[in-house]
């Protein structure tokens, strides 16, 4: 299918010097006529990322934040400069296959009910990233995920509905949640629902955005004919402790903002307790690992 819509790409960088060049080159080496504009928002990296972009990619619109305002806020800032029909939100540690962009944009061109779509995401080792298409978190599937029951019962709607491990990665399907590492969304729809919620500093904003889109009647699609590679967490290796803290905070924020009207206080309390236990165990493991040297 041939796309006919223009795409504005927003990339948020934070200590992305090692990867952002490859990401930008993969965009420019795809069907270049689709790339209407490239916008990079740098969250005070201070590692040479800005200099690299300015020197090697002069057509990029570069926005330099004086401090790290978080991923969602930075995307929103970049989106205010966008003029394309579609907004491609892309992590700097990704590389797009040559036809990924045309597959995604052509899908939205031909399905007006869909507000957003996302690609098949692969790790560098060739394994599928299950966050590419997920269900919304619930008390039951979250507990199943934490305790590994989703791996034992991958096809269960009750226990396996978050990562959907029983679903083929090659199946084009309407879903609840896409990964914020790479999504293509109609720009006007993104703005209409308020963009990303800045209360999520680093994680959870993709789930929250999809929640808003789903609950305003929009379709969300996973399109595996488009494929990218993702070095997950590359930027976060610089601030690993902060990243882990924000990961667990995002879980609790989503519970408080979106699930209170759907589940009993007891269920949600259990869900938040499980998150806190996971966070404590994660800290304890890291402390012991440092002690062992």
Both tokens assigned to 272: 């938040």
CA dist 72 and 253 (Å) reads: 14
Report which secondary-structure segment, H or E, holds 110. helix 100-110
Residue at 178 is within a domain: yes
And the tokens for 170?
A: 């090659």
pLDDT at 234: 57
C-alpha to C-alpha distances, 100 to 103, 131, 153, nearest whole angstrom: 5, 18, 32
Is the residue at 191 inside a domain? yes
pTM: 0.90
Which segment of 170-174, 204-208, 268-272 scores lowest on mean pLDDT? 268-272
In which residue are the tokens 């795809």 written? 30
**237-261 pLDDT tens trace:** 555 677 888 888 999 999 999 999 8
pLDDT at 143 over 90: no
Choice among 108-112, 144-148, 234-238 with the minimum mean pLDDT: 234-238
- Is 46 part of any domain? yes
Residue 209 domain-assigned? yes
Q: What is the pLDDT of residue 21?
A: 96
The answer to whether residue 289 is domain-embedded is no
Domain that includes residue 94, residue range:
7-135+161-232
pLDDT at 289 over 60: no
The DSSP 8-state label assigned to residue 85 in this structure reads S
Instruction: Write the CATH number for 71.
Output: 3.90.550.10
Whether residue 287 has pLDDT greater than 50: no
pLDDT in the model for residue 12: 97
Average pLDDT over residues 37-41: 96
> Residue 179 carries which DSSP code?
-
Query: What is the predicted pLDDT for the residue at 202?
Result: 87
Query: Which CA distances in Å does 86 have to 42, 98, 99, 141, 214?
Result: 21, 18, 16, 32, 18
| Predicted pLDDT of residue 239 | 54
* pLDDT of the residue at 34: 82
Rounded Cα distance, 268 and 262, in Å: 10
Q: Is 244 exposed, middle or buried (0-12, 13-18, 19+ CB in 10 A)?
A: middle
Beta bridge partners of 10: 39, 89
What pLDDT score was predicted for residue 281? Answer: 79
| Cα separation values, 204 from 129, 136, 256, Å | 16, 11, 12
- Is 96 within the bounds of a domain? yes
> Is residue 285 in some structural domain?
no
Distance CA 180, CA 203 (A): 9
When divided into structural domains, the chain yields a total of 1
**Does residue 210 belong to any structural domain of this protein?**
yes
What value does the mean pLDDT take over residues 183-201?
A: 97
In angstroms, rounded to a whole number, what is the distance separating the alpha carbons of residues 182 and 176? Answer: 15
């Amino acid at each position: 299918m041939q796309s006919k819509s223009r795409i504005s790409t927003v990339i948020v960088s934070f200590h992305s010097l090692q990867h952002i060049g490859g990401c930008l080159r993969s965009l420019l080496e795809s069907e270049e006529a689709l790339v209407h504009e490239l916008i990079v928002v740098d969250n005070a990296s201070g590692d040479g990322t800005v200099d690299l972009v300015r020197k090697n990619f002069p057509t990029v619109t570069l926005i330099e934040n004086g401090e790290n305002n978080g991923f969602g806020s930075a995307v929103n800032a970049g989106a205010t400069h966008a003029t394309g029909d579609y907004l491609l939100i892309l992590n700097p540690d990704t590389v797009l296959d040559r036809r990924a962009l045309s597959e995604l944009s052509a899908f939205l061109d031909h399905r007006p009910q869909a507000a957003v779509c996302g690609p098949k995401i692969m790790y560098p080792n060739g394994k599928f990233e299950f966050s590419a298409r997920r269900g919304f978190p619930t008390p039951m599937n979250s507990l199943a995920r934490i305790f590994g029951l989703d791996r034992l019962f991958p096809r269960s709607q009750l226990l396996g509905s978050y990562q959907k491990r029983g679903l083929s990665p090659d199946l084009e399907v309407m879903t609840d949640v896409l990964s914020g590492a790479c999504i293509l969304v109609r720009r006007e729809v993104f703005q209409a629902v308020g963009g990303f919620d800045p209360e999520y500093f680093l994680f959870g904003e993709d789930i929250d955005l999809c929640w808003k889109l789903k609950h305003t009647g929009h379709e969300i699609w996973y399109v595996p004919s488009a494929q990218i590679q993702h070095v997950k967490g590359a930027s976060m290796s610089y601030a690993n402790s902060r990243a882990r803290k924000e990961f667990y905070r995002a879980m609790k924020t989503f519970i408080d903002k979106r699930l209170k009207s759907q589940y009993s206080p007891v269920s949600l309390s259990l869900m938040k307790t499980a998150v806190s236990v996971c966070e404590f165990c994660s800290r304890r493991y890291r402390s012991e690992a440092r002690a062992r040297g």
